[in-house]
Structure 1
């Protein structure tokens, strides 16, 4: 680690710290406080009854399990032993596992591929309760599998060999899942840092570590750290990683004194990695990165089944046809005559189930949705943490007309969201919208491998563009019903699914694009069959022909209108708007 490089980082941190503190006094910063609190509450475990008291009233009360939880997460933190080509010691840093075989640290700790080749990750470099050193377990890094670094955000993500020379498994030390949503900590809260100060045994800072300011990419906090602490995880009170520690902030007037520390926000690092994902050409490296980016939702426990109380549905206006503007109304798809006769009606005679920011029309005979329609507001998106895998029957329609949990047990069939979980999570009702997406009415049986490739890329593309460019997007999603669909446990599993996305382009005109993907080759015996299944962009009229639904004037805004062309969507660049 170069002294000059570290000095430059510290001076940049000081500059940001002074600027952020000046900006905090602005009226806009005050106006954003409610929004930040809403985001913060969305990432708190619902079973932590003391959390809001700690945040709002600054209480120091904690469940006793808090200490055990801190000990558990500390296993994934390691000392990075830096060596040169000749094996000579060059220094130390801290790092931590963020996926089964991926380690995160600072760029100024591991700035090059070669530096990573000769470095070692040392776990258990700590004392036990009797102040006796534990046995250190060392793993070599594997930058040839994956190595991503950025000087601007001062982070490095690198693969680690999964077994050490003695046969000890890296998995024994676990990893710390990274949550992409913002709002994991607020100004005035306290953070804890697990670190290897001065390259010594593992230590932790617990209290008096107040967060002073938060910007788009950085968190400033008062805490005790030492050289060697670079690359440490910074935790909130729920032991969720909120930032990557990288620098102390020097006192502008008194040399040798420090006024705060700075960490890089985890949400900013994950945003960078998502943008870099398509640039990872190696298939194995891409798989490792995908495991990291998918980690939070993959950790949810087994499915539970429940029913929400009536108040959860009161005031849910559902899909808004005028969402894109009063001059660009997009009505719900029209059902044909036979579909109208097959609609599952609510107990008060309604044919549409309204949820928060989305609506669904159900087929009584198939027990699945004809379609789901959602409004996505990219200016107000909020990342809501997925706490569990609890799914709900909708009490407004008979339970026997909803495909329930029996279809999904002990097989390779997943509950595939139609309106995707993240899409309606915007505005003041984001948490409610998130919960509404977990209805059996909003899912369809999909093979577990169906949504892992370009269909997921397509969904990410629509949501990312809505968020990155402040767009409003309307998305319709549904299955293609055929009499020949595979019958399984009293349900016919659709072999094809479709999407229609509508947005306003820069010139104000509408764009309506349609997509189709098949899972037919996955359903032979409900075991994975290796084969070619692709996502296609197709004319809107083709979706109308396949489904019997009517999309009205949308065909006039389709770039593939008046053609019979179907375009293979291998990546985002293939989409024609």
Structure 2
């Protein structure tokens, strides 16, 4: 083991010196404009300080950063390496990367036999009073799944779902591996959670500058010790950017270190993808598929289950309430024109809308998507319902043939975009039920992930945040614009534009209704690849939405401050007025 580790360290040193020479020769700029654009694209848009940290080297963090670090640390464990007779041979670090899946170094667990006798120990750490927590140990299950690679120095191994005391491994969560580029730039800092020298869990936080990034490796200046091999290396957003595996020795003094080296997550994921077909059992392939469905290049979509809710889930759902804003401010559903009425997917009772908890949906049979959705939002009673899974449902009240299901969304960058946002109807005593109701295919529409998770989300955030911050009641109508020229894909069409109409009572005396139009028209090329920078948001007259969709909003158009005039481009959420 010692000779192998020496070899790994010398190889790391040679790579480090090579990269250093190349960067000096190129007068390398750590953060080009293109790289910075990629980096910023995966930062949570609520993290207002992130770009300041990257560009101006600010040390300011939201206080929640510390809690987020504690949360991810639960998935990190000490690995006790034992021989066949149970004798202790050494320590390493590992971390959970999926349900029942552990990632560490090849030089920590070289063979399935070594994994068979090893033990993963969670909670090996001190509490705030410097007292040790109770260690919770789990056995590994290499017979179920074991993938290792000496060149990339990683091992992925299955674990038992429950330990001898019936404690579920799921208690400790897992760290998703996202191979999308832009998780770290040279000149940024990384954080490492580890078990140095096999001791209690420790952290080196931020004073660890990334020096070089290559196709397979990341080099960073950091404090680690023997036993830290197999540790997760995080960026400032607590995303895993590499698997720590070796120190880089000082070429002039073998007792000193000049840097550390980690294996890039994208390289590990690519190797796992290549190995998938060689796995012998269906169960092992399913475990790896779950991991890869979260992390396949170009996709950050979570694995999804498809289900059907029982009829009693719909029995008491009253849907959208037209008197929600007050009996003196009645806001009825928009009316379908005659052609749309012929195309509407009616229930067995003949209803043109599907009623859910606090919202309703009118479906097009030909497009298998909603003509519109309508939701009531009570900002004073909003409940924060956590998103626990990604299970979507067919609505049994209409034919499944009229609902665009999950096959359309597989293996591409198209999201199941909520039309009624998941959080919008989650208020009052039925909040949990409302949350579940939003996960119907009737409430989804194809949206490119960069549109759904950025531009569309910004508008949704703005509307919901205003309702919550001002304890307002708001009714919102949402839908796609259907055109014959919409892109055909997998026997369906992807809408180019989406709209919203937000209605509230202004100053307690009159209705105010504002309409917004957002486009993803130039979002994709022929292969569904994202084209950056083509998203636009406009505040438009309600009459424009009527013209584009064929819907009739009736008297509501009189409450529109843009009843006269042209579309107004919205550059940021703060420009929107409701």
State the TM bucket, normalised to the shorter chain: 0.5 to 0.7
- Counterpart residue number, 2:231: 232
1:170, CA displacement in angstroms? Answer: 0.7
CA deviation vs aligned residue, 1:17-50 (integer Å, no higher than 9, x gap) = 1111222245595498222111111211111111
Measured in 1, the distance between the counterparts of 2:26 and 2:447 equals 36
Further displaced range: 410-419 or 286-295: 410-419
Contact 1:419 1:477 in 2 (8 A): no
Aligned-residue CA RMSD (Å): 4.1
Q: CA 1:27–1:49 in structure 2 vs 1: closer, same or farther (change >3 Å)?
A: same
Measured in 2, the distance between the counterparts of 1:276 and 1:162 equals 23
- Counterpart residue number, 1:141: 140
Q: CA 1:85–1:414 in structure 2 vs 1: closer, same or farther (change >3 Å)?
A: farther
Does residue 297 (structure 1) correspond to residue 309 (structure 2)? The answer is no
1:14-25 equivalence runs, <5 A: 14-25=13-24
1:440, CA displacement in angstroms? Answer: 6.2
- Counterpart residue number, 1:525: none
1:409, CA displacement in angstroms? Answer: 3.2
- Counterpart residue number, 2:437: 409
Q: CA 1:275–1:211 in structure 2 vs 1: closer, same or farther (change >3 Å)?
A: same
CA deviation vs aligned residue, 1:425-456 (integer Å, no higher than 9, x gap) = 9xxxx9779999xx96599xxxxxxxxxxxxx
SS in 1 for 2:208: coil
- Counterpart residue number, 2:215: 216
- Counterpart residue number, 1:366: 366
1:476, CA displacement in angstroms? Answer: 4.7
- Counterpart residue number, 1:247: 246
Count of residues in correspondence between the two structures: 369
Contact 2:414 2:448 in 1 (8 A): no
Contact 1:43 1:384 in 2 (8 A): no
Measured in 2, the distance between the counterparts of 1:131 and 1:299 equals 39
Contact 2:95 2:231 in 1 (8 A): yes
Q: CA 1:385–1:413 in structure 2 vs 1: closer, same or farther (change >3 Å)?
A: closer
1:76, CA displacement in angstroms? Answer: 0.6
Contact 1:368 1:441 in 2 (8 A): no
Contact 2:414 2:447 in 1 (8 A): no
Measured in 2, the distance between the counterparts of 1:139 and 1:31 equals 42
- Counterpart residue number, 2:570: none
SS in 2 for 1:209: strand
- Counterpart residue number, 1:74: 73
CA deviation vs aligned residue, 1:263-307 (integer Å, no higher than 9, x gap) = 01111111211222222231111111112122352289xxxxxxx
SS in 2 for 1:297: coil
1:53-92 equivalence runs, <5 A: 53-92=52-91
1:521-536 equivalence runs, <5 A: none
- Counterpart residue number, 2:506: none
- Counterpart residue number, 2:162: 163
Q: CA 1:392–1:7 in structure 2 vs 1: closer, same or farther (change >3 Å)?
A: same
Measured in 2, the distance between the counterparts of 1:263 and 1:114 equals 25
Measured in 1, the distance between the counterparts of 2:181 and 2:414 equals 10
Q: CA 1:17–1:392 in structure 2 vs 1: closer, same or farther (change >3 Å)?
A: farther
1:42-61 equivalence runs, <5 A: 42-61=41-60
Does residue 277 (structure 1) correspond to residue 261 (structure 2)? The answer is no
- Counterpart residue number, 2:489: 477
Measured in 2, the distance between the counterparts of 1:30 and 1:432 equals 30
Contact 2:418 2:445 in 1 (8 A): no
1:167, CA displacement in angstroms? Answer: 1.2
5+ residue gaps, structure 2, are 295-299, 305-338, 344-362, 370-411, 422-433, 460-477, 494-524, 528-578
Contact 1:147 1:159 in 2 (8 A): yes
1:420, CA displacement in angstroms? Answer: 6.4
- Counterpart residue number, 2:500: none
Measured in 1, the distance between the counterparts of 2:441 and 2:368 equals 15
Contact 1:418 1:478 in 2 (8 A): no
1:169, CA displacement in angstroms? Answer: 1.0
CA deviation vs aligned residue, 1:472-510 (integer Å, no higher than 9, x gap) = xxx9514379xxxxxxxxxxxxxxxxxxx989xxxxxxx
| Structure index of larger Rg | 2
- Counterpart residue number, 1:38: 37
1:156, CA displacement in angstroms? Answer: 0.4
- Counterpart residue number, 2:560: none
Measured in 1, the distance between the counterparts of 2:182 and 2:440 equals 35
Measured in 1, the distance between the counterparts of 2:489 and 2:414 equals 23
Using structure 1 for the length normalisation, give the TM-score. Answer: 0.57
Measured in 1, the distance between the counterparts of 2:272 and 2:445 equals 25
Q: CA 1:442–1:269 in structure 2 vs 1: closer, same or farther (change >3 Å)?
A: farther
Q: CA 1:32–1:126 in structure 2 vs 1: closer, same or farther (change >3 Å)?
A: closer
CA deviation vs aligned residue, 1:92-141 (integer Å, no higher than 9, x gap) = 00000011210000000001010000000000111111111111110000
Contact 1:77 1:123 in 2 (8 A): yes
- Counterpart residue number, 2:201: 202
Measured in 2, the distance between the counterparts of 1:186 and 1:480 equals 39
Contact 2:219 2:260 in 1 (8 A): yes
